[in-house]
Every structure is written in C-alpha cells, then in structure tokens.
Amino acid sequence: MNLKYIIVYATDFQKLKSFYVDKLGMTDIGSLSSDIFATLRASDGGAVIGLQDKKSAQFPPAQENHAGSVELSFQVEDVDATYNAWKSKGVDMLSEPQNLPFGRYFIAKDPEGHYLSAFRFANR
C-alpha cells in the first residue's frame, strides 16, 4: 500500500488554492482539476494534494466543522531558506526552524488552519 494523495477540505476554495499555488509554489494539474476541486503537485514532483471545495463535497468529511486536524509536511533541501521564503510571502508561521532528534523542522498554518511543516532529516 502506498499513500499517494491527500485531500484537504476548503471552506474558501479559491483562497486556499491560491495560497498553495502562489505562496507554497505548488503546481495545479489542470487536467485533474475543476472549479470545485484542485489537484496540486509539490514542486519536486512528489506529493499530490487534492483541495476539495467543502460546500460541494458529497462525502462525510464535508460535514466536519473544524480544520487543523491534518499536518502537511514538506521535505525540503534547506529548512531555513524555506522558512524565510514562506514568511516573506505572509504565511502564518507558528515556530522558527529548530533542530529536533530527527532533523530540522518548523511549523506554520494555511489560511484555514491546517498545519504545514517543512523538514529535513538529519544526516546519520
């Protein structure tokens, strides 16, 4: 089993899509997107995120009343450079980069309260 696709439910779909594309640099895969759903690929060509307009969703997560119960974690080459780039674009930063037992890491939030982090594993 391989995890390939993560879906994030958006209360303000266009705003959240713009955030992920304009501020985080993800690419909208137009052939897999519509006016209520966007398929976004990370800049390294790896992870794929689906943004679903919550008002249009037909499945149970659409009825949830809270956000922030997921963390999208991006593996990056330079944690500090990513932190500075996100901060300069107005991303809501919750911590500064720090060294943890597994490597370097920081955490932020998207406009709807979903957690975002960037990390780099320590060389072992």
The domains of the chain are located at 5-55+66-121
Domain at 5-55+66-121: CATH architecture:
Roll (3.10)
- Residues 90-104 have pLDDT tens digits of 999 999 999 988 889
| Residue type (1 letter), 40 | L
> Would you tell me how many other CB atoms lie within 10 Å of the CB of residue 99?
10
Mean predicted confidence (pLDDT) in 34-51: 87
Q: What is the CA radius of gyration of the chain?
A: 15
Comparing CA positions, the residue from 118, 21, 26 lying closest to residue 73 is 118
pLDDT of residue 14: 95
- Beta pairing class for 27-28 and 37-41: antiparallel
pLDDT of residue 77: 93
Q: Which residue has the higher pLDDT, 92 or 59?
A: 92
Q: Which residue has the higher pLDDT, 123 or 82?
A: 82
State the chain's mean pLDDT as an integer: 87
Mean predicted confidence (pLDDT) in 29-36: 84
- The angle formed by the CA atoms of residues 117, 33 and 74, to the nearest 5 degrees, is 15
